[in-house]
């Protein structure tokens, strides 16, 4: 169960990071509310997962998922350029996250 919560928390990290970027320095109310709610839920899930998973593993997986989903979303929406090198590097992050799960 901790792994499922950690994965969801990693996705929520991407949600709050994207909302923060769209909030224009927390001046737009809609994205600011999404940011605060997603941030709180993401942190709560990370904390829950860390009760049973090692700190370093949980944090690395959380950050890896959040970073990968954030960049993938930005590329999918046209906010960032898409290139083969960027995709391969993101796949490398995913491979490292999967590796941490396997060796756990």
Q: How does DSSP assign 30-60, residue by residue?
A: HHHHHHHHHHHHHHHHHHHHTTTS-HHHHHH
pLDDT of residue 101: 86
Between helices 29-49 and 2-22, what is the axis angle to 10°? 160
pLDDT tens, position by position, 4-58: 999 999 999 999 999 999 999 999 999 999 999 999 999 999 999 999 999 999 9
Q: Please give the model's pTM, rounded to 2 decimal places.
A: 0.90
- Give the number of domains in the chain: 1
Indicate whether 104 pLDDT > 80. Answer: no
Structure tokens at 103: 């060796």
pLDDT tens, position by position, 54-103: 999 999 999 999 999 999 999 999 999 999 999 999 999 999 999 988 98
Q: Which domain holds residue 63?
A: 2-103
pLDDT of residue 70: 97
């Amino acid at each position: 169960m901790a792994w499922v919560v950690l994965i969801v928390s990693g996705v929520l990290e991407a949600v709050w990071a994207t909302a923060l970027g769209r909030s224009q320095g927390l001046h737009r109310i809609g994205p600011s509310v999404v940011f605060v709610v997603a941030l709180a839920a993401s942190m709560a899930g990370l904390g829950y997962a860390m009760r049973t998973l090692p700190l370093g593993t949980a944090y690395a997986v959380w950050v890896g998922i959040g970073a990968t989903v954030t960049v993938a979303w930005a590329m999918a929406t046209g906010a960032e350029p898409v290139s083969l090198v960027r995709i391969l590097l993101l796949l490398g992050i995913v491979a490292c996250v999967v590796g941490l799960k396997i060796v756990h």
